[in-house]
Amino acid sequence: MNSAISRRYAQALLMIATERQALDQFEGELETFRNALMANPGVKELMDNPRILAQEKKKALDLLIKDLVDPVIYNFLHLIVDKRREAYFLDIIRAFNKYADEARNIIDAEVRSVVHLTDKDYQELRERLARASGKNVRLKSIVDTSLIGGIKVKIGDTVLDGSVTKKLFLLKNRLQQTRLEEIGVKK
């Protein structure tokens, strides 16, 4: 149910953002709000407390973001408080970001390698993933020394594992499955 609520609010805001051609602006202002909320644990606690009146929460919102965001975002956040959905603020922002990426045809990918990729390798991998997926790729690079060598790429739900660790694992399995007689060893 929580994700359905978050998605519904995020989709409604996305429609407004698309109509006004303000997708980047709204996404940035929601990020500003999220950062302000996370930087002020007292305000976050106040928003999460169901016993606090909506008017008090709106006053806190005003102090936090009134002059920093577009009136649409300001009213949107007030609407969430009016509907007593303020516990979903962060989920709504995450859902909006996801929908905004879909609208821009952006997909996240993660590459793990033993060493930092060079700028050239990073760019080439990003371009190859973009061609393969048909989307703009936002690539995150992570150093993972457990791989021994090679790379491991995760794009969406797909994992492409070209690591030495994976190749050694596959070789080990193949050797274990090979019957000794097949390679000429007699018992």
pLDDT number for residue 65: 86
| Cα–Cα distance for residue pair 83/25, rounded to 1 Å | 24
Predicted confidence at residue 106, as pLDDT, reads 93
Instruction: Give phi and psi for 167, each to the nearest 5.
Output: -65, -40
Distance of alpha carbon 118 from the chain centroid: 24
Dist CA 148 CA 165 (whole Å): 6
Counting Cβ atoms within 10 Å, is residue 86 exposed (0-12), middle (13-18) or buried (19+)? buried
- pTM, to two decimals: 0.75
Which pLDDT does position 85 carry in this prediction? 93
Domains (range + CATH), the chain? 2-102 (1.10.520.20), 106-180 (3.40.30)
Q: Interior CA angle at 104 toward 100 and 106, to 5°?
A: 90
SS3 state at 25: helix
pLDDT (tens place) for every residue of the chain, 187 residues total: 568 999 999 999 999 999 999 999 999 999 999 999 999 888 889 998 999 999 999 999 998 888 889 999 999 999 999 999 998 999 999 999 999 999 999 999 999 998 898 999 999 999 998 998 899 999 999 998 888 888 888 987 888 887 777 877 888 877 777 765 566 666 5
- Enumerate the β-bridge partners of residue 116: none
Query: Minimal CA–CA distance to 1: which of 97, 91, 101?
Result: 91
pLDDT for position 66: 83
CB atoms within 10 A of CB 73: 22
How confident is the model at residue 32, as a pLDDT? Answer: 93
Going by C-alpha positions, the residue among 144, 83, 136, 134 that lies closest to residue 113 is 144
Around Cβ 69, how many Cβ atoms within 10 Å?
22
> Which pLDDT does position 164 carry in this prediction?
77
CA distances in angstroms from 79 to 6, 13, 89, 92, listed in the order given: 13, 11, 11, 13
Residue 71 confidence (pLDDT): 93
DSSP state at residue 52: S
Sorted by sequence, the CB contacts under 8 Å of residue 120 that are 6+ apart come out as none
